[in-house]
Structure 1
């Protein structure tokens, strides 16, 4: 009985007639409201931080450095990561966060593999992301583009090709062209037999009138249709597969740097010497930078026959630029370089267009997927030499190679000679194997 009375005396009693109780209740309410507001603000800020580019690139910088660096030099550097990798809507937000938990676990336990794989099979369809800004139905007209290469000869003289790119759609209202593949009237489906979508033995085209045409390559095995290989509908990403994280070909970067004056074209054989350095293997970025500076300094600045403050400044600027080029497309510590991730936007280093447009994909009717280069672009000018390039005339013409290769055959491909090397196996090379 005493224990019961003692417990009753200890019980909480709220008496709203008691001013002390009322004041305490008010204080508790104010504290709860303040805590709720701060929690809401904190949650809101946390949400936006986890959706920011800085979170994706810097918080996980140990892993995502290559992607973060290449993103900032891409055409989509002003577009946040989540606009492409997640997009709008709650369903994809939840999917991305669930996938992110697995990635965070791998990061914290150091159980991830290098190089980081490109999640092309888990990407949201381009119709729901890319086409928020890029509208296939409104592709029209042509683009003119001049591509300038610098030779590896002593004077580094240029060779330029001016192209008229047929980037229109398939409507026929304006100049039709490349983007008919994803226009509303046509549907292109294909089967790829490898993870990176390099090999495409089966293609189906459905025309606006519903007519279907199937094209198969010489390597096509009918069993593929009964396998687990995905029949994929073509969209933007099938050609523009590196829209942001572009690991650029160092050859292209060196040509651009010479053209922009960042590497002085007057430095003898600079193109040849720079490309030789960028084709070597380095275990670390620091090692690469040291070798670049050491070699170019010895080649140009330690030569007693070459003098002059202006020349010395040009060489030092070139050294700094070559280091920058290396750091923008080689990441040896992350086992990534420009050969790791194929870029299908074109057909110079990888069989981007040639995966289907190789002249071997044939329908039962005998129709062949075209291999005619003029279907996608016309050559409106070619020239070699400083004065010749500067005064290049506008004239539609056939392509000629700057090296005397004779008459090129229709089945010849750029990649027959210029194909990117096999991806570097950094682990094996470091072992000396």
Structure 2
């Protein structure tokens, strides 16, 4: 041992008189070792940060990796979200903190399905790429679905993404939630039940909303348990979303991966994908049995198009292996996604119509709050008209509870702005028979919550008087014709303090008073009356040519009462 130490000492510290190389070689070797250590360490660091390592090294991660690969973030490394883009020193400390996952794996102290509990704050991850202040545009969305007869239909809507900064006159739309400070109180691990919401106004004051069905007392809130709304509050599964069988099949049909002319393929596809199986292998076998099903039940089709059937089976197997992980207890129902409001509460966790403030005003639940009214178009519809509301609204529509009231407040004035055939139906023959609205079961909305219905009962507008435009005999006056015409055609908007530009046509005195700039009806001078000028061009509700001529006659006669 002593001899070995002496040799090492002589190697590192050559005796006096040794050649120059004897002095250089030890340091060259040490430098090479250090460089090798750093280089190999860099490669190890890079590999352990790679999606392949994160997704395949641990048997708990296949569901997350499969969803990741088809997500919008498929080119983003896992660590960019789960550790964050940071100085490498901070990243090392954060990664060291995740050693608890290794310990949980070694000792099997985890539970399926895996749920993340310690995500980095959105400003440290999402907003490194997606700056909310820079998002200020709306976008067109087209969803393609297939009926039982495999006829395609599309749902068109404008998604009001909004965003931008309030100082630039923006800060609206869906991303209003990020530009403003909002706190919420969830009562479950997945934050699917939120009985309390607090919005901080610009002046620092707060307005509180409580779910009237929850029996929740805001006084009991532990302020430390409040969460501030950020990107992940809604986009919780943006990288790891598992699509429902119906969604996956719609996509496969649209992309031509599965032939639409295969008999019963939609029903059978959903049936085998949603089946409950003891193992992954049993699920794959059940899908494979579709080959025998088509061979026995549709022999003519199978004899000529067996390859299409086999291709469909392979696509269904791919959907199944990407969506169902029996060991990890993961499928489309295991992790709710908070974007949307059909398959899980999502937006309706707060915007369900039954979160009210002290004035019994709801967090608004309007179809056109975050998107336009959806429009359904079938194969025979060559033109799709998407309505974007931009004009004045009747006073009833300004009530934050309007969506929960509107089906009980249908009246003649609705037709001033909307087509009203088959109201409440699903025929898509009018604005009021929209199948995307009335043909969908909104499980998580609170329209019919008993406590809500009792509270808003007093807010129902009185029944509209049925007013008909009379047949004119003799010269027109306000009382014998003009007043009734204004009531039917104008006062849905032009009535009371909220009348656009102050033009109130609900009474003779108000009509003759005019607007904030003066008279809109100039007695004896129809051509220069603003009322006639506006009604002579396209308006929200125009008089017929006959009605307009009578109004002109009335004004030129001196606008008698």
Q: What's the counterpart of residue 312 of structure 2? A: 318
Q: Is 1:258 aligned with 2:244?
A: no
What is the DSSP-based 3-state SS (H/G/I as helix, E as strand, rest coil) of the residue aligned with 2:242? coil
Q: Is the 8 A contact 1:349 1:414 kept in 2?
A: no
Do 1:359 and 1:411's aligned partners in 2 also have CA atoms closer than 8 Å?
Answer: no
Q: Partner of 1:176 in structure 2? A: 172
Summarize the Cα distance change of 1:281–1:228 in structure 2 as closer, same or farther, 3 Å threshold.
Answer: farther
Q: What is the CA–CA distance in structure 2 between the aligned matches of 1:56 and 1:234, rounded to whole Å?
A: 28
* Equivalent position SS for 1:197: coil
Q: C-alpha displacement at 1:103, in angstroms?
A: 1.4
Q: How does 1:103-118 map to 2 (within 5 A)?
A: 103-118=101-116
Relative to the length of structure 2, the TM-score reads 0.65
Q: 1:157 to 1:301 in 2, by over 3 A?
A: same
Higher relative contact order (Cα pairs below 8 Å, separated by 6+ residues) = 1
Question: Aligned with 2:322: secondary structure?
Answer: helix
Is 1:143 equivalent to 2:170 in the alignment?
no
Conserved 8 A contact 1:141-1:176: no
CA distance in 2, matches of 1:199, 1:145: 28
User: When the two structures are superposed, what TM-score results if normalisation uses the length of structure 1?
Assistant: 0.83
Does residue 100 of structure 2 align to residue 102 of structure 1? yes
Aligned to 2:49: 51
1:281 aligns with 2:276: yes
CA distance in 2, matches of 1:263, 1:104: 41
| 1:350–1:415 Cα contact (<8 Å) kept | no
Number of residues paired by the alignment? 398
- The corresponding residue for 1:17 is 16
The verdict on how the C-alpha distance between 1:304 and 1:319 changes in structure 2, with shifts beyond 3 A counting, is closer
Alignment of 1:187-206 (within 5 A): 187-206=181-200
Give the corresponding residue for 2:233: 238
* Match in the other structure for 2:385: 394
Show the 5 A alignment for 1:13-412.
16-19=15-18, 23-60=21-58, 62-87=59-84, 88-89=86-87, 93-119=91-117, 122-151=118-147, 153=148, 155-169=149-163, 171=166, 173=169, 176-183=172-179, 186-218=180-212, 219-222=214-217, 225-227=220-222, 230-294=225-289, 296-303=290-297, 305-307=299-301, 311-379=305-373, 381-384=375-378, 387-388=379-380, 391-396=382-387, 401=426
Q: In the TM superposition, what is the alpha-carbon distance from 1:157 to its structure 2 partner?
A: 1.8
Per-residue CA distance 1:180-226 (angstroms, 9 max, x = gap): 0001xx21111111110001111111122333211111215226744
Change in Cα spacing, 1:352 to 1:280, as seen in structure 2 (3 Å) is: same
- Structure 1: runs of 5+ lacking an equivalent: 1-8, 419-433
How far apart are residue 243 of structure 1 and its match? 1.5
Please report the RMSD computed on the Cα atoms of aligned residues, expressed in angstroms.
3.2
SS at match of 2:443: helix
Point out the structure with max Rg over C-alpha: 2
Q: Distance in 1 between matches of 2:61 and 2:327?
A: 11
Cα distance in 2 for residues equivalent to 1:400 and 1:173: 39
CA distance 1:45–1:63, change in 2 (3 Å): same
